[in-house]
Structure 1
Amino acid sequence: MKWKIISLLVVILAAIAAVYLLLPKGPSPAQTAPTAAVSPTASPTAVATQPPTQTPAVSRQIVVVDFRGKRIVLPKPPERIVVLNSYWAEVLVALGAGDKIVGIGRYVDADEYLPPEVRKKPVVGDLFGGVNVEAVVALKPDVVVTDYGYGKADEVIKRLEEAGVPVVALFMRGTPDELKAVEVLGNLTGAVDKARELKAFMAKRFEELGAGAAKIKERKRAVLIFGSSILAGGPLSLAANSSFGMALVEAGAVNVALEQFPNQAWPKIDMETLMRWDPDVVLIAASAEDAGRIFDKIRSDERWRVLKAYKNGEIYLVPWGSKIGDILNWGPRGVVGREYIAEVLYPDVYAFDWRGDLKRLGDMYGVSIPPQAYAVYNINWKEVVDLAGNVVKIPSRVERFATFVTYQLPIAFNVTSRLVAVGRDAVQGVFAPLMKAAFPAVVNLPTPGDRFKVNVEALVQLKPQVVFNWVVNPDDIRTMQRANLTLVQVVVNNFTDAERLVWLYGVVFDRLPRARQIVNDMEDIVKFVANRTASVREKARVLYLWVDPLTVAGGASLFSQNIELAGGVNVAAADYPTMSTVKVDPERILKWNPDVIIIAWQARYNESAVLNNPVYRGVNAVKNGRVYKKPILSEYTPDTALSVLWTATKLYPDLFRDVNFTKVADYYYRRWYGVSYTQVWG
Structure 2
Amino acid sequence: MKRISACVIVLTFLTAAVCSAAAVTYKDKLGKQITVTTPVKRAVFFETYELSAALDVWNSIAGISRYAYVNDLMLALKPDIAKSIPSAGSGSDVNIEMLLRLRPDIVLTWTFKPETVKFMEEKGLKVIAVYPESLSELYEVMRFQGRLFCKEKKVESVISQMEKIFTLIRERVSKIPVNRRKKAIWLGGKPTTVSGAIGVNNDIFLLINSINPASASVRDRSADVPIERIVAWNPDVIFIWGSAKYGADDILGNSQWRYVSAVKTGRVFKAPKWSTWSPRLAVIALWMAANIYPEDLRDVYLEKTAENFYRSVYGISYRSVNRIEK
- Shared fold (TM-score, shorter chain, > 0.5): yes
**Amino acid in structure 2 at the alignment position of 1:622:** V
Q: Which residue of 2 aligns with 1:11?
A: none
Q: Which residue of 2 aligns with 1:294?
A: 14
2:215 alignment partner, SS class:
coil
**Aligned-pair distance for 1:229?**
9.2
CA contact (8 A) 2:231 2:259 kept: yes
**Aligned-pair distance for 1:657?**
0.5
**Amino acid in structure 1 at the alignment position of 2:81:** V
Give me the whole-angstrom Cα distance separating, in 2, the residues matched to 1:590 and 1:671. 42
Alignment counterpart, residue 510 of structure 1, candidates 150, 157, 165: 150
CA contact (8 A) 1:544 1:559 kept: yes
- Equivalent residue runs for 1:627-646 within 5 Å: 627-646=268-287
Q: Which residue of 2 aligns with 1:568?
A: 210
**Aligned-pair distance for 1:387?**
3.8
Larger RCO (alpha carbons 8 Å, 6+ apart): 2
Give me the whole-angstrom Cα distance separating, in 1, the residues matched to 2:144 and 2:134. 15
Indicate whether 1:449 and 2:169 are aligned: no
CA contact (8 A) 2:28 2:34 kept: no
Gaps of at least 5 residues in structure 1 are 1-35, 38-227, 234-289, 299-316, 318-376
Gaps of at least 5 residues in structure 2 are none
Q: Which residue of 2 aligns with 1:558?
A: 200
Give me the whole-angstrom Cα distance separating, in 2, the residues matched to 1:484 and 1:499. 29
Alignment counterpart, residue 49 of structure 2, candidates 407, 420, 423: 407
CA contact (8 A) 2:227 2:256 kept: yes
Q: Which residue of 1 aligns with 2:303?
A: 662
- Equivalent residue runs for 1:262-341 within 5 Å: 293-296=13-16
**Amino acid in structure 2 at the alignment position of 1:670:** R
- Equivalent residue runs for 1:484-523 within 5 Å: 484-523=124-163
Distance 1:561 1:295, change over 3 A: closer
CA contact (8 A) 1:386 1:490 kept: no
Give me the whole-angstrom Cα distance separating, in 2, the residues matched to 1:551 and 1:397. 40
Distance 1:618 1:418, change over 3 A: same
Give me the whole-angstrom Cα distance separating, in 1, the residues matched to 2:6 and 2:23. 22
Indicate whether 1:419 and 2:61 are aligned: yes
CA contact (8 A) 1:533 1:655 kept: yes
| Two-structure CA RMSD over aligned residues (Å) | 2.4
Give me the whole-angstrom Cα distance separating, in 2, the residues matched to 1:489 and 1:293. 33
TM-score, with structure 2 as normaliser: 0.89
CA contact (8 A) 2:24 2:147 kept: no
Poorly superposed stretches of 4+, deviation over 6 Å: none
**Amino acid in structure 2 at the alignment position of 1:434:** L
Give me the whole-angstrom Cα distance separating, in 1, the residues matched to 2:102 and 2:91. 17
Give me the whole-angstrom Cα distance separating, in 1, the residues matched to 2:173 and 2:235. 19
- Equivalent residue runs for 1:504-653 within 5 Å: 504-538=144-178, 539-576=181-218, 578-653=219-294
**Amino acid in structure 2 at the alignment position of 1:642:** V
Q: Deviations over 1:541-573 (max 9, x none)?
A: 112222222222222232222111111010111
- Segment of structure 1 superposing worse, 665-674 or 634-643: 665-674
Give me the whole-angstrom Cα distance separating, in 1, the residues matched to 2:284 and 2:212. 15
2:298 alignment partner, SS class:
coil
Q: Which residue of 2 aligns with 1:392?
A: 34
Distance 1:459 1:653, change over 3 A: same
**Amino acid in structure 2 at the alignment position of 1:506:** G
Q: Which residue of 2 aligns with 1:163?
A: none
Indicate whether 1:463 and 2:103 are aligned: yes
2:190 alignment partner, SS class:
coil
Give me the whole-angstrom Cα distance separating, in 2, the residues matched to 1:632 and 1:677. 14
Distance 1:549 1:488, change over 3 A: closer
Q: Percent identity?
A: 28
- Equivalent residue runs for 1:30-109 within 5 Å: none
Distance 1:476 1:551, change over 3 A: closer
CA contact (8 A) 2:132 2:199 kept: no
Larger Cα-atom Rg: 1
* Larger fraction in helix: 2
Q: Deviations over 1:562-592 (max 9, x none)?
A: 111111010111121x222222223212211
**Amino acid in structure 2 at the alignment position of 1:394:** V
Alignment: residue pair count: 317
1:402 alignment partner, SS class:
strand
CA contact (8 A) 1:499 1:638 kept: no
CA contact (8 A) 1:383 1:391 kept: no
**Amino acid in structure 1 at the alignment position of 2:94:** V
Q: Deviations over 1:608-637 (max 9, x none)?
A: 222222112222222222222222332101
